[in-house]
Amino acid sequence: TQLLEQSPQFLSIQEGENLTVYCNSSSVFSSLQWYRQEPGEGPVLLVTVVTGGEVKKLKRLTFQFGDARKDSSLHITAAQPGDTGLYLCAGDLEAGSYQLTFGKGTKLSVIP
């Protein structure tokens, strides 16, 4: 059973386009994180959201946590080739566990 489902799995867009990737679950999360991972490296934390409906911005990246804290989205404005990479969402279930559950990721390619 996929606790965290990310879509799309793969996304290829032209430089300058906007895009949104999604992270969905039937479970409620206490907090949710977005990471970016390069091949052969560890996930690098981009943002943490904790409140339902919360929106956080990091330059051209906008992150939103769903009102029910079951889903999240990452929107990139005017994508650049440097945005190419694997974007992972991860969260801790509200039941009180501190372990992170990861999605499989969205592999983004931005073509110059």
Tokens of 20: 């949104």
**How many residues are present in the chain?**
112
Minimum distance from residue 81 beta carbon to another protein (Å): 23
Residues engaged in binding another protein (CB under 8 A): 30-33, 35, 40-45, 48-50, 88, 90-92, 97-105
- Other beta carbons less than 10 A from residue 86's beta carbon: 17
d(CA 51, CA 62): 15
Contacts (Cβ under 8 Å, ≥6 apart) of 16: 78, 79
